[in-house]
Amino acid sequence: MLILSRKIGQSIVIQAGNRKIKLIMLEQNNGSIKIGFEAPKDIKIYREEMYEEIVKQNKAALESDVNRLGKIKTTIPKLVKKDKKQNT
């Protein structure tokens, strides 16, 4: 693991191929650090624990008990099914 020390106001640049991500150390208080990001639009930046939560929940959703659906759907408010638009 590469370890760098940075002060407030300083930055880190990560270059992957021809793409650059810049992390700017903005503020520090009570043991937490505020970081700003500059990155190409298609790069998604997540808090690790949130991303891991989504992964966990997506995997749990796959284990859903298909046989119970009939009963559940009756508890969900009725919805008038619209005619699907024909894509031409």
Partner 1 sequence: MIKEYETKLGSVKIDTERTIIFEYGIPGFEDLKQFVLLEPEDTYPIMWLASLEEKNVAFPVTFPQLIRNDYQFTLPQDLTEYLELDKTEEAIILSILTIPEKEDEITINLAAPIIISQKNHKGVQYLIESEEYKIRHLLKEELERSKVILSAQKDGE
Q: In the numeric block, which tokens belong to residue 67? A: 């046989």
**What mask of x and - would describe binding to partner 1 in positions 17 to 46, judged by CB under 8 A?**
------------------------xx-x-x
Tell me which residues in 59-78 interact with partner 1 (CB under 8 A): 59-66, 68-73, 75-77
Q: Which is nearer to partner 1, 7 or 81 (CB)?
A: 81
* C-alpha–C-alpha distance, residues 35 and 16, integer Å: 20
Walk across the sheet containing 32-38 and list its strands.
11-16, 19-29, 32-38
Looking at the DSSP assignment, which residues form a beta bridge with residue 13?
22
List of residues contacting partner 1 (CB under 8 A): 41-42, 44, 46, 50-51, 53-66, 68-73, 75-77, 79, 81, 85, 87
